[in-house]
Amino acid sequence: MTHLFADFNSLDWFRYASAQDIFTFSVFVDAIRLYPVFSTFVAFWFGCNIGSFLNVCIYRIPLGISLVTPPSHCPNCNHRITVLENIPIFSYLFLGCKCSSCKQPISPRYMIGEMLTGLCFAASFVYLRWMDLPLSTNLLYALIISVLIPSAVIDFNCRIIPNELTYTLILLAPLFHLFHGILLPPHLPDWFAFLISLVTALLFGGLLSLSAFLGKLLLKRDAFGLGDVKLIMGLAAALGALPVLYIMLIGSCSALVIMPLYRWYNPRRKHRGFAFGPFLAGATAIWLLFGISITNRWLYPDFSVDISAIEFVNPRNSRYEMNRISELSRRREALRMQEAIDAREHHRAERIRKKDSSADSSDAVENDNSVLSGNDTTSLSPQES
């Protein structure tokens, strides 16, 4: 894979960039390209902070508690968690896995949730950089991860997928495509990607709702939860039709294999309905990290058209990044041309200076010779006369 700034280093960027670029958002974009290891750590730490908020969502949304008030507190003694006690991962370890007030043990699921979210953010960032995809795609990945993790955990514990999570994905995913049309080839406008996102979500929602209604009519029980339907609608709006078909196939196959083993291991929950949300989340994670490569290399080995250019992502940079790269390239070429012109002018001036100096020296010699010859003639003329 060829990196966009493979021939740039940090000094080259400040050399070819203008003063306005240094104080704009472009410095953030270029810093990610120039320092991938540090950027991966930043993505991990940002994901850990998002995971801390997702832990609040997992605990409060099923209970109907507001996410804003009251502030985070210990569920045993209602001790309000301070800022230093709310640092992801480190606070849990420094407190010894206990509350600082009542000394009651804190469940490790909070730290696991923070680390899982951070690892997902870091893995998605590395994958998108390795695939040379637009940096703006990280926002879409972050949105999907932030919805899938609490949806899977709440569905596993309570057998529901809250509307607050699914509606967020359904509403924000089309808006993302309105400004970053990655569902389409580069020659089509972004508003067309927004339209495709809405139509795909409505199409999957209608078909799956009809399937759920027919299943309940025939089987006399719920065959497909509406929470799963809304989650698939959000994934269809974010990823497109082809990825969602693969996600449903992978999730269904994994559920057919795992659920009989789970019920055999835990027979007390044999008659309890199983949660399909965790399987959708796992299948989506597989697609996000390996779906494009699997589709292009295994399913279509002899197909001349790149599937990723048709569905989900287009391996091109956004218009903003393309303009930034072309602008930097133009400035670099202009600077090189100016340096070459200056070098030629300097070389020409040196040649002219040397030529003038040699001409002046030759004129001075001729003048000296003429002066000497004139003196000789004047000294000889009286004798001859």
- Residues 310-330 as b/e (b if ≥16 CB within 10 A, e otherwise) read ebbbbeebbebbeebeeebee
5/241: higher pLDDT: 241
Query: What is the phi/psi pair of residue 69, to 5°?
Result: -125, 145
380/365: higher pLDDT: 365
Question: What is the spatial distance between Cα 50 and Cα 41, in angstroms, rounded to a whole number?
Answer: 14
**Total-model pTM:** 0.69
Lowest mean pLDDT among 35-39, 178-182, 255-259: 178-182
290/209: higher pLDDT: 209
68/151: higher pLDDT: 151
184/47: higher pLDDT: 47
pLDDT tens, position by position, 122-181: 998 888 887 777 777 888 899 999 999 999 999 988 888 999 999 999 999 888 888 776
- Spatial CB neighbours of 276, under 8 Å, sequence gap ≥ 6: 155, 224, 225, 228, 251, 255
pLDDT tens, position by position, 194-247: 888 888 999 999 999 888 888 788 877 777 778 889 999 999 998 888 889 989
The mean per-residue pLDDT over the stretch 276-282 comes to: 91
Query: What is the phi/psi pair of residue 51, to 5°?
Result: -60, -35
**So where are the chain's domains?**
35-130, 133-317
pLDDT tens, position by position, 300-325: 444 433 333 333 333 334 444 445 55
Could you tell me the pLDDT band of residue 2, with boundaries at 50, 70 and 90?
very low
Question: What is the spatial distance between Cα 162 and Cα 65, in angstroms, rounded to a whole number?
Answer: 13
